[in-house]
Amino acid sequence: MKHIVTSALLASVCAVAAHADEFPKGTIEVVTHSGAGGGTDTTARMMLRSVAPVLGADMIVVSKQGGSGAVSMEYVNGRPADGQTLLVWTTGHAVTQAKNGASSAEGWIPVARGTNDPQVLMVKCGAYADAQAFIDAQTSQSLSYGVTHVANIDDVSAFMFTKAAGVNPPDIIPFEGGGDLLTNLVGGNIDVGVLNYGEAAAQITAGEVCPAIVTGSERLATAPDTPTTADLGIDADFATVRGFAVREGTPADIVAKLEAALMEGMQSPEYLEFLQSQGLEGNSVAGAKDWGRQMDQSVRQMQEALITLGYVQG
């Protein structure tokens, strides 16, 4: 009987190995939770454009919108755990998992990170002399902060920034998209815009919008004079992260093959040029180990923030 079990186990191992040797087999789906043209969709398309030739496989973007990423996760979990379906895992998924009681990115195997885009507090140029004046203005009054997501990375980072800075909480004004938000910021209808640098690049170049503070530990190469929260001694580090993951149960050798291909492809001149256009550097790209650590950290961070702000019960 022992011999039969051992033989069965050996057959199983051989089957997995043979399957891994055949990967990729057919078209690879890259599943997003956003519509066409958004930051997540663009990141996915730039990745597959650079990675598909490395893998020697067709890759397509599949949009599964709804539930703040819940629909996209459900879709991928309904597919075989064979590496043929990748999820573009983002900060929005971290929020959704945190709202559902998770304290880590449970159920997902990290493959590689594509972007690490810090939240930037933007103001109308000339509104404040410097970052300290911007902070000081909030000691006596609340400023209006424009966001494009509620109970998500935008308003969470705004609330947690003001809390860590010891100033008045923000007056949150939600907008449908970044374009509408920027129009109102330039028009003086709101005081602050919570954005990624790339979203306001055109307005920054035109001198209409200025980055006031980067919520992170490293200054942006595109805004070297803009201080970070770390520079100012404020414990508020928030970023929009976009990377790739597969469902739990995917064979380790397939994950390794995917990671190697994504890391090679996302070091291509074309992908690095895309990062630069978003105000990012090559270190936005990271392997599975660092990406997995950040995925877990993002869920924990969001869980703590959502509890602090009363969005979920502790």
Residue 204 to residue 209: CA distance in whole angstroms: 5
The reply to whether 122 and 157 lie within a common domain is yes
Q: What is the pLDDT of residues 179-225, one digit of tens each?
A: 999 999 999 999 999 999 988 989 999 999 999 999 999 899 889 99
Q: Is the confidence at residue 73, as pLDDT, over 70?
A: yes
The reply to whether 23 and 89 lie within a common domain is yes
The reply to whether 125 and 111 lie within a common domain is no
The reply to whether 270 and 200 lie within a common domain is no
Token pair for 133: 């004046």
> 261: domain CATH number?
3.40.190.150
Helix (H), strand (E) at residue 116: strand 108-124
Give Cα 182 to chain centroid, integer Å. 21
Q: Provide the domain limits for residue 123.
A: 118-214
The reply to whether 13 and 104 lie within a common domain is yes
List the beta bridge partners of residue 196: 119
The reply to whether 274 and 205 lie within a common domain is no
Answer whether residue 227 is part of any domain: no
Give me the sign of the Cα torsion angle 28, 34, 36, 38.
Answer: negative
The reply to whether 110 and 123 lie within a common domain is no
The reply to whether 104 and 14 lie within a common domain is yes
Answer whether residue 233 is part of any domain: no
- Give the burial class of 99: count Cβ atoms within 10 A of its Cβ; 0-12 exposed, 13-18 middle, 19 or more buried: middle
Whole-structure pTM value: 0.81
Tally of domains in the chain: 2
Token pair for 66: 């709804």
The reply to whether 132 and 200 lie within a common domain is yes
> 206: domain CATH number?
3.40.190.10
pLDDT value, residue 19: 57
Q: What is the pLDDT of residues 228-283, one digit of tens each?
A: 999 999 999 999 899 999 999 999 999 999 999 999 999 999 999 999 888 788 99
